[in-house]
Amino acid sequence: MFRSGAQKALLILVGLLALVPAAPRRANAGFISLAVTDQLAVRQEGEVVRVTGNYEVQNRGDEATNGVFVALQLGRWSHATPAQTLDVYEAANWELDESLPLNELACGESPADLCAGQVLPLRGVFPLRITHHYQDINSFLFSAVDAKRVVVGNLVGEEAKAAQVPELQAGIEMQKAEGQNFTGRLIVRSSAATPRVVSVSLFTAREMGAVTRPFQLRVEPGSEHGADFEVLNHSALEGGSYPLFALLQWQDGEIRNSLIASAQVAVGRESGAARPKLLLAVVLVCAAIALLVVMVRLGATG
């Protein structure tokens, strides 16, 4: 009876262990690394804004990449370059000479608008959003983002100084991950002499998504204020790290000023979809061991 019970328990144990989900395997594939050379310039010509210059993307990985293109966003204006295929260490060069009406930089009424309901001047410093799109050899879509401040209009004297040395400083503290959700906190410090109402919006790769919509944050003179936010993992790879930008805009005298804070969102190998599998594995193993102990004891008394 003892030998029979132990054998049955071992068979059940093997059967339960067979149900444990296997750990995700990382393919021994190559990698894609894009190096960027940005020589873009933005200038205002009357009621028109021109975006000119050269933009280069080089593949410094060890495998080819397809469908490489760059998407630019300035206010409500957007532009995408033609897509190209890049072999290892091959580069794509796009010469841009694009024009947009000045009113494309005006704040919109949509809740998703970067101004978050404010009406801000059409002259000053604006955030330019840049997204690099590409595919691997299996046609999986990826993106990498960047953001930079660009000046629109002729700023001189105190306006030029305000643009070069903003009266606000900002930073991002990533706090924790719960499943596919990541939370963080934006910290804004002010050296201004008067209160500022700041429009805040989040910008990240297509693999991630901002749950927190654009919002307004009132910052008192000489103070520090914080605001929590949340982003969601749509298709980010485990073990990857993705840039996150907070775009801040406010009225500074007669101009619009802006500031960009950044952080990295690290996607853990055992977060999100991997956690239920790990929990199931632990439960099944514990159940198998408990069953083995019971069967052995029954066999010993039989």
Establish how many alpha carbons lie within 13 A of residue 261's alpha carbon, considering only the half-sphere containing its beta carbon: 21
Average pLDDT score, the chain:
85
Q: What pLDDT score does 13 carry?
A: 39
Residue-wise pLDDT tens digits, 101-134? 999 999 998 878 999 999 999 999 999 999 999 9
At a CB cut-off of 8 Å and minimum separation 6, what does 73 contact? 128, 129, 130, 131
Query: Under CATH, to which class is 34-271 assigned?
Result: mainly beta
In b/e form, how buried is each residue of 224-245, taking b as 16+ CB within 10 angstroms?
ebebebebebeebeeebebbbb
At a CB cut-off of 8 Å and minimum separation 6, what does 285 contact? 16, 17, 20
Predicted confidence (pLDDT) at residue 282 exceeds the cutoff of 50: no
Residue-wise pLDDT tens digits, 12-44? 433 434 444 443 333 345 789 999 999 999 999
Predicted confidence (pLDDT) at residue 173 exceeds the cutoff of 50: yes
Residue-wise pLDDT tens digits, 223-275? 999 999 999 999 988 888 899 999 999 999 999 999 999 999 998 765 444 44
Q: What pLDDT score does 112 carry?
A: 81
Q: What is the mean pLDDT of residues 3-19?
A: 43
| Domain extent listing, the chain | 2-23+277-301, 34-271
- Decide which of 68 and 292 is more confident: 68
Give the confidence band of 289 by pLDDT, cuts at 50, 70, 90.
low
Name beta bridge partners: 262. Answer: 245
Q: What pLDDT score does 268 carry?
A: 79
Q: Compute the Cα dihedral for 13, 18, 23, 26 and give only its sign.
A: positive
Q: What pLDDT score does 2 carry?
A: 38
Helix (H) or strand (E) holding 298: helix 274-301
Cβ distance 292 to 9 under 8 Å? Answer: yes
